[in-house]
Structure 1
Amino acid sequence: MAETAEKRDGILETIKTVVYALLIAGIFRTLLFQPFWIPSGSMKDTLLVGDFLFVNKMAYGYSQYSCPFAMCSFIDGRWLGSEPERGDVVVFRHPVTKSDFIKRLIGLPGDSVQVKGGVLYINGTMAPQEPNGVFIEAFEKQGPVGNLPQCENGGVPLGGECRKSRFTEVLPNGVRHDILNIRESRLDDTPVYTVPEGHYFFMGDNRDNSTDSRVSQNAMGVGFVPYENLIGRADRVIFSSAGRSMLFFWTWRADRFFEKIV
């Protein structure tokens, strides 16, 4: 009987340990940091396919999208909210598809945003671009999905060098970040977008390979993103793997571990 009681107590302790661990993980994910894996190349070369990071959820406060499984649907608006800054790399909930996206914040409420000849203008003022060499990566399948990168130099064989011109863009508040060019595209010349109050305008750093606010939600883009849809700010890459699985240690990018996101 004593042995049976000991087994029962052991099982109960194991269950309690698992429950406590799940509660702690849930609190950590909801209030502090949410893990995020980069699935696409829209933010190259700031973020690469296979980068793993934690999103700082304290940066902008909490909304109904802060909790997993829609558990925070009771939150109306935003709690403990603070305003994001232009140039922040932000994870947000798509207003229509409800998927999580990561892009760079370009336009604040009330701003006018336009792209002319591939150059960004905010409130009529050009954001200067400085040539910054070439971004080179292997033309091969990337990440679990296995998508091939897009290249400025055409006709690249598998395993060859995929090249993109790189520029450093300077935003009006002084934030400097890299952007890439692949080709001339329709998104290199846009109308003037006026950002509504309570909304934000986002763009990917890989400008010719990004679904972002330059395309309306009706046209399967992102459009303007409401404040309450912001989940958090991406501050630092924690881990990075170029392979289809993080278990493939020979594909780890050790030089990107704990790299600050700018």
Structure 2
Amino acid sequence: MDTSDNARQPLYVSVLEWLETIVAAFAIVTVVFTFAARVITVDGGSMEPNYYDGNRVLITSLAGEAKQGDVVVITHALNETLIKRVVATEGQVVDFDKELGELIVDGTVVPGDVYGTENGITFAAEDRDDIMDFPQTVPEGHVFVLGDNRDNSSDSRLLSVGMIDRRNIMGRAVFNLYPPSKVGPVW
């Protein structure tokens, strides 16, 4: 015969204890995913070949300030959420080599393969009315972002997006969640 306290407790007490545990766990998960980390689904092809439409990444605002090379999720640009790569930070000068088709930061060519893209595909298109004039210096508190798929990306080259205020960065991508072949830390 079991004489423990649990055996003498009425069923409703055990149910209430379980309910309390479930509610506490739900509250913790809600706080974590509201303030510390979020799962973002990539929408569109602007980050190919590194991120495809439907890929999922974990982002966090607790991983420190975004720096050159980081993949970030941005709000308030074009009234939608964008995932892009930071290629320059405050005080850096951004330009594009018209012959090589490469990004230039502070006078140094940054080949596409540095970020897993093709070399020779990074232009500031001259046939569009909404392209910034270059060179540009990134203002204090801002970053310059590009999509990895430079031919199909609405990014900081466009006047409608422009330099991104750091306050509009939801967070840095820190972990790839989907597809299973890419699960792991973001490089």
TM-score between both structures, scaled by the size of structure 2: 0.76
Matches within 5 A, 1:1-262: 10=15, 16=20, 19-60=23-64, 83-95=65-77, 97=79, 99-117=80-98, 118-127=101-110, 129=111, 167-168=112-113, 176-180=114-118, 187=125, 191-217=134-160, 222-240=161-179, 254-256=180-182, 258-262=183-187
1:27 Cα deviation (Å)?
1.5
CA–CA distance in structure 2, aligned partners of residues 216 and 39 of structure 1? 21
Which stretches in structure 2 are left out of the alignment for 5+ residues?
1-9
Paired residues, number: 171
Q: Report the Cα offset of residue 84 of structure 1.
A: 2.1
Give the 3 Å change call, closer, same or farther, for CA 112–184 of structure 1 in structure 2. closer
User: Larger Rg: 1 or 2?
Assistant: 2
Give the CA deviation at 1:185: 6.8
Summarize deviations over 1:163-185 as a string: whole Å, max 9, x none. xxxx51xxxxxxx3211479897
* Runs of at least 5 residues in structure 1 that lack an aligned partner in the other structure: 61-82, 130-166, 169-175, 241-253
CA distance in 1, matches of 2:23, 2:74: 29
User: TM-score of the superposition, structure 1-length normalised?
Assistant: 0.56
Structure 2 Cα separation of the partners of residues 205 and 113 of structure 1? 16
**1:128-151 CA distances to partner (integer Å, 9 max, x unpaired)?**
x3xxxxxxxxxxxxxxxxxxxxxx
Sort the Cα spacing of 1:184 and 1:107 in 2 relative to 1 into closer, same or farther, 3 A: closer
Whether contact under 8 Å (1:187, 1:208) holds in the other structure is: no
1:179 and 1:213, CA in 2 relative to 1: closer, same or farther beyond 3 A?
same
- Shift in Å, 1:9: 8.7
Shift of 1:19: 3.8
- Secondary structure of the 1:93 match is strand
Q: Percent identity at matched positions?
A: 30
